[in-house]
Every structure is written in C-alpha cells, then in structure tokens.
Amino acid sequence: MTLAKSKYYFEALDNYPYNLPDCVEALNYALSYDPEDADSLCLMGRIYAETLKDYETAKSYFEMAMQSNVSNVNTPKYYISCLIDHEDYDEAEKLIAYVLKIKGIAKADLLYRKSFLYEKKEEYKKALHSIKEAKKFSYNKSMTDFLNEREKLIKGKMPKTKAKKNKTKEKEAK
C-alpha cells in the first residue's frame, strides 16, 4: 500500500456514505494507484450494493476484491450481505463456509449473517442454531445484546407447534 493510495482510500472511506461524490472521486484515485487493492474494490462494491442497489456490478467488485486478497477480513461480510440481499443464498452459504476458515475473521459477525440467511429462507431452527454459535464467538456486550435481540426476533417468527396449541385449548376448556 503506497502512501498516496492509502491517503485516497482513507479519504474515500471517511466520506462514505455521507458524501458520495467526494468518496467516489477519492476511490477512483485510490484505484488508479492500485487497481487490485482489496479494500478499495470492496468499498466500490459497497457503493454499488448499498447505495445504488446494482447487485451485479457490486458482486463483480467484491469478486475482484476476494481474488486480489483472499485473506482480507473486511470484504467477506459486505460481499455476503450483497449476496443475501440479491437472494443468491447458495452462493452466500458457500462463501460463509469458506471465510469462516480465514484466520482473524470476526466469526460472530459471520455467524450472525449465516443466521440472517437462514431467516430469509424461513429456516428458523437453523437460524437459531447459527445465533447460538455466534454467541460463542461474541466477546463484547454490544454484540451479545444484538444477538440476544435477534434470537428473540427469530423465535417470534417461528410458527407455533400443534402441541402448544393443544395445551392452550386444554387450558381454555378447563
């Protein structure tokens, strides 16, 4: 990473998402210095995914970022979110399985995203299992609180079982 490139990358990052014109200008300078910089490519992917909702272009930037640095710990979470938002569930699931093996990756965050993937697929038991796994790798209160709230939300979405309905009817009959 050259000093000129890092200046432009950090300038772009500082401007995202509140000042997109300056962000994109700085990011284009950063990419002109190093067109294969994973962090710059990732940020460009985020702009296309989160702001412009152009998932195909975003996916291509995320793919380039992953190819240029497969051990980059920043890119996967944004790429996974893009895949889930674009309903590329199988691809997201494969990517999660792969990146969980990267040394230094935030496992709690990735397992939360896995839970979110299952939730979108309405596989609530799997979503709860992923939340429980994420809690094992949560090392701060804010993440633990967040995971507890997600667990409550998922439990609220789960269909009620017939056994619970029968017990309720029995209580009402008495």
- The contacts of residue 147 (CB under 8 Å, 6+ apart) are 108, 112, 131, 134, 135, 138
CA angle 161, 162, 165 (to 5 degrees): 95
Residue 70's domain comprises 3-173
Q: Does residue 165 carry a pLDDT above 60?
A: no
What CATH code is carried by the domain that includes residue 34?
1.25.40.10
The pLDDT tens digits for 117-154 are 999 999 999 999 999 999 999 999 999 999 999 999 99
The pLDDT tens digits for 16-37 are 999 999 999 999 999 999 999 9
Structural domain total, the chain: 1
Q: Which of 81, 77, 47 is nearest to 61 (CA)?
A: 47
SS3 content of the chain, % helix, strand, coil (to 5): 75, 0, 25
Q: Does residue 173 carry a pLDDT above 60?
A: no
The pLDDT tens digits for 38-79 are 999 999 999 999 999 999 999 999 999 999 998 899 999 999
Q: Does residue 174 carry a pLDDT above 90?
A: no
pTM of the model as a whole: 0.86
